């Protein structure tokens, strides 16, 4: 996991069983990054299932339709938030798994591009281990497009591809936070809120690119994907577990 070779410490896995609320969950990742940077937190992997949220990019807020898009989110039962990272709007809910990987790193900026490729492949590998035909790369018309998105291909129809993992990174002097959202179950509400939000923003996209892993592998659930992810991680790092309360949220 520590591909920079600078930190051989174990990776502490912390499962957060209950959402702290959409806004607080997002903030808490940044607080953990600040702690890692100051030296009071070692390499940490935080896993949680979020409250229904649409995280807009900074650029979205400058579009004339932003207020209408935020109202569309609320009408769909999703809380609109603005994240500090780039990119466009992404939606997530209880059927998704958020993975925040935080590490202190004296040379955090140098590895930022490599990190996207590395984690993209790690997530694709985890999804392949549970039967998803997953690969790294942007697909035409995807929401919140990114070069290192992870997508899945429908085994029955190779022309059908859906985005399954979106990634974002926050790098500061002395540490980094790599945050990924895996869409596992119940893609309908996500597709609907993105359709309404993107229409309000005037952004073009293809709603068929919004999907979940269980659209491709029926019966797949968040617990199975979380287990697969940790198995994959264990091939890269020494894992230890700690209670969420140890982080003092």
Higher pLDDT, 8 or 236: 236
Return the DSSP state at 6: S
pLDDT category of residue 1 using cuts at 50, 70 and 90: very low
Instruction: Name beta bridge partners: 160.
Output: none
pLDDT classification of 158: cutoffs 50, 70, 90: very high
- DSSP symbols for 42-89: -SEEEEEPPPSEEEE-GGGGGSTTHHHHHHHHHHTT-EEEE-SS-S--
pLDDT, residue 7, reads 53
CB neighbour list of residue 141: distance below 8 Å, 6 or more residues apart? 204, 205, 206, 208, 209
pLDDT at 4 over 60: no
Where does residue 112 rank: exposed (0-12), middle (13-18), buried (19+ CB within 10 A)?
A: middle
**Which has more confidence, 87 or 187?**
187
118 burial type by CB count under 10 A (0-12 exposed, 13-18 middle, 19+ buried): middle
119-138 mean pLDDT: 97
- Report the share of the chain in percent with pLDDT over 70: 96
**For residue range 159-216, what is the model confidence (pLDDT) as tens digits?**
999 999 999 999 999 999 999 999 999 999 999 999 999 999 999 999 999 999 999 9
Listed by start position, the domains of the chain span 11-247
| Assigned CATH for 11-247 | 3.30.930.10
Is it the case that residue 22 has pLDDT exceeding 70? yes
Is residue 8 scored above 80 in pLDDT?
Answer: no
Q: Is the pLDDT of residue 5 over 60?
A: no
* Residues in contact with 159: Cβ distance below 8 Å, sequence separation at least 6, in sequence order: none
Q: Which two tokens stand for residue 216?
A: 């491709």
- Per DSSP, the three-state class of 212 is coil
- State the pLDDT at residue 6: 46
Q: Mean pLDDT across the stretch 34-40?
A: 96
What's the pLDDT score for residue 87? 80
Cβ contact 182:176 at 8 Å: no
Residue 2 pLDDT > 90, yes or no?
no
* Whole-prediction pTM: 0.94
> What Cα–Cα distance (Å) separates residue 137 from each residue in 124, 140, 148, 166?
10, 10, 5, 11
Over residues 226-237, the mean pLDDT reads 97
Q: How far apart are CA 230 and CA 85, in angstroms?
A: 25
Residue 84: per-residue pLDDT: 79
Q: Rounded CA gap, 246 and 230, in Å? A: 20
- What average pLDDT is seen over the chain? 94
């Amino acid at each position: 996991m520590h591909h920079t070779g600078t930190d051989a410490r174990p990776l502490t896995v912390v499962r957060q069983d209950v959402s702290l609320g959409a806004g607080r969950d997002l903030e808490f990742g940044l607080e953990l990054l600040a702690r890692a940077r100051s030296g009071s937190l070692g390499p940490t992997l935080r896993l949680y299932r979020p409250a229904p949220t649409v995280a807009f990019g900074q650029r979205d807020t400058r579009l004339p339709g932003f207020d209408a898009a935020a109202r569309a989110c609320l009408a769909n039962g999703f809380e609109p938030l603005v994240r500090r990272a780039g990119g466009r709007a992404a939606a997530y809910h209880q059927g998704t798994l958020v993975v925040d990987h935080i590490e202190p790193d004296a040379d955090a900026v140098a590895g930022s591009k490599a990190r996207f490729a590395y984690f993209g492949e790690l997530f694709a590998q985890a999804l392949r281990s549970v039967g998803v035909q997953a690969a790294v790369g942007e697909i035409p018309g995807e929401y919140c497009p990114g070069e290192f998105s992870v997508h899945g291909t429908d085994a029955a129809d190779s022309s059908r591809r859906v985005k399954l993992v979106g990634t974002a990174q926050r790098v500061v002097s002395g540490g980094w936070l790599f945050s990924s959202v895996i869409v596992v179950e119940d893609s309908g509400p996500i597709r609907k809120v993105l359709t309404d939000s993107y229409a309000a923003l005037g952004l073009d996209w293809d709603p068929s690119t919004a999907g979940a892993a269980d659209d491709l592998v029926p019966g797949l659930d968040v617990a199975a994907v979380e287990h697969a992810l940790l198995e994959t991680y264990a091939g890269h790092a020494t894992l230890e577990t700690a209670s969420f309360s140890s982080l003092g949220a």
